[in-house]
Each structure stands twice: as structure tokens, then as C-alpha cells.
Amino acid sequence: MTTPKSENRIKKLTEELKQRSNQDVSDLLLERARLLKELDRIPEARDDIQTLLKRYPKNKEAQQLAKLLLTDSHTTNQKQTSTAPPNAELQDYLTQIDTDVKRFIQTPKFIQILKACGNDANDQEARQTRATAYMVLTRLFNPPQDKQKDYPLPSIIQTCADAFSKCLGSGKNADKLLAYRTLHAIFETSMTVGAAILSQEGVVEDMMDVFEFEVLPVQIAMTEVLAIASSDKSCQKRIVEHGSQWLAKAAAGKEGDERLKAAAGTALMKLRMQQQFEQKQGEEGQEQQLQSAMELMHLNTQELTDNLARTIKSKSTPAVTVLSAVEGLAYASLQPDVKETIAHDPALLKRLVTLALESGTAHAQANPLLFGIGTILTNVTLYKPVLDEQQRQIRKLRNLANAKKNGTVEPEEDPREQDAAVEARIRAVIDQGGALALMVLSKNNSQNLKSVAARAYLNLVTPKKTRGKLLQQGIVKGLAPLASDLQAAHALARLAITTDPRLAFGGQTSLALVRPFLNLCKDNAQLRQFEGLMALTNLASVDDDSVRLKIVAEDGMTTFENLQLSNHTMVQRAATEMICNMVFCDPVFETYSTHPGKLRLMMILSDHEDMATRRAASGCLAILANRPEACQHMAQVDKGYERIARLLQPEESIEVQHRGIEVIRCMLQHLGKPAAQGLSEQNAQKHLAHLVKSKVAAVRSAASEVLKMMMAELGVQIK
């Protein structure tokens, strides 16, 4: 048989491709594709030819082989899916499962659905059939809330398990391949159902017993099942117990199949990360067994990371292998050392961005790859969460408990998680075009991808120094469609705080952002409240009144008034500044200048311990005092004249003093002698006389004018 020779030759070609990744590799790709075709590994052969034709579209030998592969692929697919129903029939099944699930799962139709999920999807028709079969499984495994009570999920699981066992029991390689690919599809549509099948007594043990005797395609399918199952806690124990040694051996193999190594590395990475998480939580685990297996093969987290990174960076790696490697790296990127490794590898970052951009025009099957890339970019740029006092105490107690149990103490501060280190990683991601990759995710129909993009965008805009470059790269185009997501709205708010909205957004976008920013203000997180207020203040600062009117129409004033009562000084201040900005709008001026309660609150806040809050509140009063009714209401507030006179005190800031002078000017104009007498009783004239000597010309001039007005009302002439 020529199979072993062909396999060895494929391994040698793969190694040579890695070494010549930046040279002309058409001859190597062509030879490897022919060998893969001989071994009936059509999808991998087709991947090589597609890669070759992308680089060298005029290569005639590649064009001829591509035609042969298309014919072989179609023939193979017909053989394998001859029992699979056509796509239209699958669509009918969606209706049937809504009416009688119990009956449907007992028919051959259900088995056909399972087979359709496990078959190769080598052409458009096969992909559509498989996608519809996935939809049927998703609907079956995830019933709506109102149907869960009597739903026959145990029967569905048992039927799937029986079909899996029967398929394996035939002993044929094609059936084994179908069984494991179908189980992988089940995991993709429901982790619960997949885990229930794999966790049955003896399943993982039997897999490991025969692993080394299976042909390579079956080994790959088995490993990919273990990789996806390693995300589930109920499967992890069995996989660690029975599969650690083989996974470590496969991941460490120097000349092994790249797809197999990537899947094994991904499984190990997931298991390793889960065990480290359990250690932090003080839970008992099987870390010793997995650690021993990895040490036996001279493997560690860094080695796994490097292997996965090499797989991703190699342009000759088939798409399915890249996907597995990206998933593994996504799990690993939660660790500080892995974050640093990724950030300090420009070639890896650039390759991830390129993969995202190339996947942007692909069908929905590219979504898992995009999700993995988005997760990596999010984790690498993630800031350490800010803990409140209670959370810090809980963490301290947990660390003490872990120290007693394990004899180790978790360091309080990891320098790789400090803000300076995170910001350095953010700059690295931006320099390699990370924002462009996120734009692909933001335009995708998948809500999960949009959510990942929003989280990563928020990380990228957190350092003020990065915002200018991100705006140049067109970040608003990626963020604006996501504005209904709180994290995306928060990212946009940060851009709005430090940039002229007219330059960053333009008129229509600014109007569209009013509601998302108000949603930030309504959130429970005080940071979101504060930055939402700051962003709206900047939006409303433009000369055009359209943004202010939009805020009024969205009932923003009620939100701002509620936040004026916040227990956080900075939120109170920002809310007061926002209202001060809004009173330039006619409807708001009309409401506030005639409402005693709103004026009273402003007068109280004008005596706030925070100077910026006093400045905003007194500024608001200075504007509203231009209306006679407002002056009357201010005079009637308890200690009204005392509060106003206090704005002029010598220890007060010059800005607040200037606002106080303008309030007194209006009160004298509208109320006359009663106001002069009330203010005189609070020694306002003495404060004004002191301010006549101010070094600020505008304050000196205003104080002089108002002092003369006051003395005139009191019948005293001043020269």
C-alpha cells in the first residue's frame, strides 16, 4: 500500500511549506494537494488548491486539479449523502417538530437530520442542506420556555446516543467519521446534549482505547470532539482522566498532522485554563494528572501557545486547522503571559486581522473564526476590573482560604495586568489594524459577534491617546451600528468626551447617539452614568439646538434630575453641568425658570462642597434669573438671599463669584428694593465691594455695576 509513504511525504511537504512560507510554494502545494486527493482527503486537497490559486491564479495545473477535485467532491458528497433528504424536505421538518416532537424523533427522518449534520459540505447545495439540518437540531435541542416542562429532551438524547453507538459499531471508517462529525455538530447546537452523550459510561474510555488504531481522518474527528467538549465542565473530568496522555502526545508531535495537533492543543488549553480557574476559586481539580501528562511530553502553556500561534501564522495551514488554533488561543488569551506573547508578536496580530478581513465576505460558516479572533482581541486589551470595597474584601478572604489549602498566595498585583501594560498591548493591537478586524465583526448579522466587537472597541478607546488614531481609522463606522449595545455606546461616549462631535460624528450621527447615551445615564454603573452625561454635555454644546431638542423629546431631563441626587459627587456634578447646558434650550428654560422645586434644588447645589458642582449650579441660576418669575421663586426659597450672597464669599472661586454677581444683578432688576434689602442683610454689599478690587477685569467691572445698583435701591449714592 502507498498510504504510509504518502502520509510521510505529506508531513515533509508541510514542514517545507513552513520554511518557505514567504517564497514560491506553488510546487509544494500542488504536490501535497495531489497526495491528499489520492488519500481521499478531498476537503484538505481543495484548501491547498484554493490557497495556490489565490496566490497564483494563472497556474494551469492548479486549475485542472481544481476541476477534478470539484468533480470528486461532488461524487463523494453524493455517495455520503445519498440518504440525506434534500434541503426543501429539511425545511418541512422544521414545521413537523413544532407539532409533534415525540413522534418525529422516532422516525428515520431524525436520523437523516443527524447524518446531514455530519456529512461534508463541499458545495453550495451541501452547505445549505447542512445549515438547515443545523437549524432543525438547534430547534429540537433548545425548546422555547413555555414548552420545556414536558419536553422529551431525555428521549432525544438517548436517540442521539443510540445512533452514535450504532454508527461506530459498524467498524467502517466512513461511519466512524460520520459519527464523530455528527457528535461535533450536536455539541455546536447544544452543549448540554453533546455532553450528555459523551459523558455516558465508557464512551470516552472506549475512544481512547482505540485512538491509535484509527486512520488519521477519524483521529482528527475524535480530537475535534474532545476539543469542543473540553468547554463543558461535566466532560472535562473524563477527558482529563482518560485522554490527557494522548492529547499531550498529539499536541507535542513534531511531525504530526497540523490539524490534529491544533485540535489537541486546543483541548489541552481549554482543560488547562479551566483548572487554573478552579484553583483560583479554591475548587478541587485534577491538575496533577493533566500537568504530569504535559510534563511527560515537555509541554507547558507557553509551548502550546507558541504552537497555536505558528499554526495561525502559516499561510499554508488549512482553514479548519486555523479555526481550531484560533479557538485554542482565544481560551489561552485570558492568561497574562499569553496576552503579552500575542501583543509582542506583530506577525500574529497582523495575521489575525487579515483572517478577519478575508472572512468578512464569507458565509456564516466563518462566524466561529471571527468570534475567536474577536475574543483574542478583547482579552488582550482587557483592563483589570475595578473592585469596590466589598469585592476587594471577598477576594482577600478567598486568597487566604486558597493559601491555607494550597500553601500558595496569589500575588495582589500582576504588573502585566496593570494599566500601563494593558495600554501598551492596546497600542500594539491598533498599530496592526485591530480596529479594522472589529469592523468586520460589527457588520456581521450575528449578535454574538457584535457583542464581542463592542467589548473590544470599549477597551481600545479607553486610553485617551489612542482615540485620535482610531478616529482616523474610521472607528465610528464600526461602532455607530452597535450603539444600542451598552458597551458600544460607552465606547462612543468616550470618543464624544474628548473630541469635537462635529468632527467625530456629524449632525445626523450625533442625533442618533442621544438615546444610546441616555441609556448609559440610566444604567446602574456610576462610571457609565458619568461618561454618558459628559458625552451628552459635549453633544449639546454645539450651536445648533437640534441635539438639545432631541434630548428633551427623549425625556432626558428627568434622567438628569434623578442623577443630581446621586451619592457620587462626580455624577452629581456632571448631571448639574448637563442641565446648565440644557437651559439654553427654550423648552427647558421655560420649565426651569417657572418651577420652584427645580430652582430650589439648583440653589441647594450652588452651596455644594464640590466647587465644580457649585459652578454649574450657580451658572444655571445666572441664566434662569433673567426671567422675573425665577427671581421671585429664588427669593422665596428658605435662606434664599443667604444662599445667593454666599456665592460672593472671598474664599469662593472667581468663577462662582462672577455667576453670583450676575444672579444679584437680575434680582435687583426684577425685584428692586426688597431684593436689595434681603441681600444687604446678608452683607452682599461688602462682598461686592471686595470684588471691585478683583484682578479679573470682567468681575471687577460687573461687581462695580451691581454694587451701584444695590446701593441705589437702598438710597445710598456711591461715587
Give the integer Cα–Cα distance in Å for 231 and 223: 13
DSSP 485: S
Enumerate the H helices of 170-300 as residue ranges: 173-189, 191-198, 203-210, 216-229, 233-252, 258-280, 287-296
Query: Which residues in the chain land under pLDDT 70?
Result: 1-4, 21-24, 43, 54, 67, 69-92, 94-99, 121-123, 279-287, 361-365, 387-389, 391-392, 395, 398-399, 401-412, 716-719
The pTM of the full predicted model, rounded to 2 decimals, is 0.79
> One-letter amino acid identity for 317?
T
DSSP 693: T
Residue 664: partners with Cβ closer than 8 Å, 6 or more residues away: 644, 648, 675, 679, 684, 688, 706, 710
Do residues 294 and 246 make contact, with C-beta atoms less than 8 angstroms apart? Answer: no
Of 244, 342, 240, the closest CA to residue 299 belongs to 244
Do residues 156 and 193 make contact, with C-beta atoms less than 8 angstroms apart? Answer: yes
Do residues 163 and 114 make contact, with C-beta atoms less than 8 angstroms apart? Answer: yes
Half-sphere exposure of 346 toward its Cβ, with a 13 Å CA cutoff? Answer: 6
Task: Kindly tell me the sign of the dihedral angle through the C-alpha atoms of 359, 361, 364, 370.
Answer: positive
Neighbours of 257 (CB within 10 A): 22
Half-sphere exposure of 559 toward its Cβ, with a 13 Å CA cutoff? Answer: 24
Rg of the chain on CA atoms, in Å: 34
Of 509, 505, 484, 482, the closest CA to residue 495 belongs to 505
| Residue 579: strand, helix, or coil | helix
Do residues 13 and 28 make contact, with C-beta atoms less than 8 angstroms apart? Answer: yes
User: Helices then strands (H, E): number in the chain?
Assistant: 44, 0
Neighbours of 143 (CB within 10 A): 18
Q: Which pLDDT value is given to residue 9? A: 80
Of 422, 426, 420, the closest CA to residue 466 belongs to 426
Report the 3 state secondary structure along 42-75.
HHHHHHHHHHHHHHCCCCHHHHHHHHHHHHHHHH
Give the integer Cα–Cα distance in Å for 241 and 367: 32
Of 34, 27, 13, 31, the closest CA to residue 55 belongs to 27
Cell 502526545: give the residue: 249
Of 86, 83, 114, the closest CA to residue 178 belongs to 114
Q: Crossing angle of helices 367-380/447-461, nearest 10°? A: 20
Give the integer Cα–Cα distance in Å for 376 and 382: 10
Residue 504: partners with Cβ closer than 8 Å, 6 or more residues away: 471, 476, 495, 496
Please state the φ and ψ torsions of residue 520, each to the nearest 5 degrees: -60, -40
Enumerate the H helices of 564-672 as residue ranges: 569-582, 586-593, 596-605, 611-624, 628-636, 640-646, 654-671
Please state the φ and ψ torsions of residue 363, each to the nearest 5 degrees: -75, 180
Give the integer Cα–Cα distance in Å for 345 and 341: 6
CA 679 to chain centroid, in Å, comes to: 57
Give the integer Cα–Cα distance in Å for 547 and 517: 12
Q: Is 524 exposed, middle or buried (0-12, 13-18, 19+ CB in 10 A)?
A: exposed
Residue 152: partners with Cβ closer than 8 Å, 6 or more residues away: 101, 102, 105
Give the integer Cα–Cα distance in Å for 106 and 85: 16
How big is the CA angle at 479 (ends 478 and 482), to the nearest 5 degrees?
Answer: 110
Give the integer Cα–Cα distance in Å for 647 and 639: 13
Of 313, 308, 310, the closest CA to residue 352 belongs to 313
Give the integer Cα–Cα distance in Å for 153 and 161: 12
| Residue 220: strand, helix, or coil | helix
Q: Is 685 exposed, middle or buried (0-12, 13-18, 19+ CB in 10 A)?
A: buried
Cell 482505540: give the residue: 210
Q: Which pLDDT value is given to residue 89? A: 67
> For residue range 76-86, what is the model confidence (pLDDT) as tens digits?
444 444 444 55
Of 216, 210, 255, the closest CA to residue 41 belongs to 216
Q: Which pLDDT value is given to residue 76? A: 45
Contacts by residues 286-294 (CB-CB < 8 Å, ≥ 24 positions apart): 286/237, 286/240, 286/241, 289/240, 289/241, 289/244, 290/240, 290/244, 292/244, 293/244, 293/245, 293/247, 293/248, 294/244, 294/248, 294/268
Neighbours of 144 (CB within 10 A): 9
Give the integer Cα–Cα distance in Å for 560 and 536: 11
Stretch (H or E) spanning 39: none
Do residues 442 and 481 make contact, with C-beta atoms less than 8 angstroms apart? Answer: yes
Q: Which pLDDT value is given to residue 81? A: 40
Q: Which pLDDT value is given to residue 86? A: 56
Of 415, 485, 497, the closest CA to residue 457 belongs to 485
In the chain, what is the straight-line distance between the N-terminal and C-terminal CA atoms, in Å? 118
> One-letter amino acid identity for 560?
F
Task: Kindly tell me the sign of the dihedral angle through the C-alpha atoms of 642, 648, 650, 654.
Answer: positive
Do residues 616 and 654 make contact, with C-beta atoms less than 8 angstroms apart? Answer: no
